[in-house]
């Protein structure tokens, strides 16, 4: 998991290029969310078209949303619960065997703190999530964060800083609760 590339990607709202990319994603997201739950193959086809890359065994529940889609890369056996939002103005890389509970937001996007022209553009900073990570319900993962392998983010947490591998974090802002011993997995 390469979490070292944390450079800002700037964008300007209202450009034709961004509008076209966003419209493409919105159409695919709508098709995915409107898809009958029994049509798993069609849902998978749409996600493979929407995302930059998708490992085998990916599963995403209803009411998924994203900005562009092609900046999202998920590994094998990825699972996202209901109401997952990934704002992917920059790259989001999620490793193998990751679980995301319902109502989780992963946000690469940000805006200037200066009020002048704040709504005319912004930036995205990549997020990297390692292998075997479990993110509990109602969590927010903010720009520039790397979550290490085998870690757990407890429900309701707001992750503003990197999470070391083999740890459990919780709270707002998320803080280290404890380390996970390797023999436990």
The answer to whether 181 touches 163, Cβ cutoff 8 Å, is no
122 sits in which H/E element:
strand 121-124
> Which two three-digit tokens encode residue 72?
């999202």
What does the block give as tokens for 146?
Answer: 């790397």
Is 73 assigned a catalytic role?
Answer: no
Alpha-carbon distances of 67 from 18, 38, 91, 101, 106, rounded to whole Å = 10, 26, 11, 20, 11
Q: Which of 62, 65, 111, 138 is catalytic?
A: 111
In this structure, the strands spanning 152-153 and 174-179 are: unpaired
List residues with catalytic annotation: 111
């Amino acid at each position: 998991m390469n979490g070292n590339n944390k450079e800002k990607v700037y964008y300007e709202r209202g450009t034709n290029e961004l509008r076209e990319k966003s419209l493409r994603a919105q159409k695919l997201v709508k098709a995915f969310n409107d898809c009958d739950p029994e049509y798993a193959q069609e849902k998978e086809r749409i996600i493979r078209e929407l995302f930059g890359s998708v490992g085998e065994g990916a599963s995403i529940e209803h009411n998924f949303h994203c900005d562009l889609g092609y900046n999202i890369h998920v590994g094998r056996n990825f699972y996202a619960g209901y109401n997952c939002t990934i704002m992917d103005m920059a790259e989001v890389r999620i490793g193998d065997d990751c679980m995301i509970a319902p109502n989780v937001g992963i946000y690469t996007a940000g805006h200037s703190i200066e009020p002048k022209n704040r709504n005319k553009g912004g930036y995205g900073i990549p997020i990297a999530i390692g292998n075997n990570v479990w993110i509990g319900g109602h969590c927010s993962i903010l720009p520039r964060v790397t979550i290490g392998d085998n870690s757990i983010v407890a429900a309701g947490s707001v992750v503003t800083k990197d999470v070391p591998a083999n740890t459990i974090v919780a709270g707002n802002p998320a803080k280290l609760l404890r380390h996970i011993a390797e023999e436990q997995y």
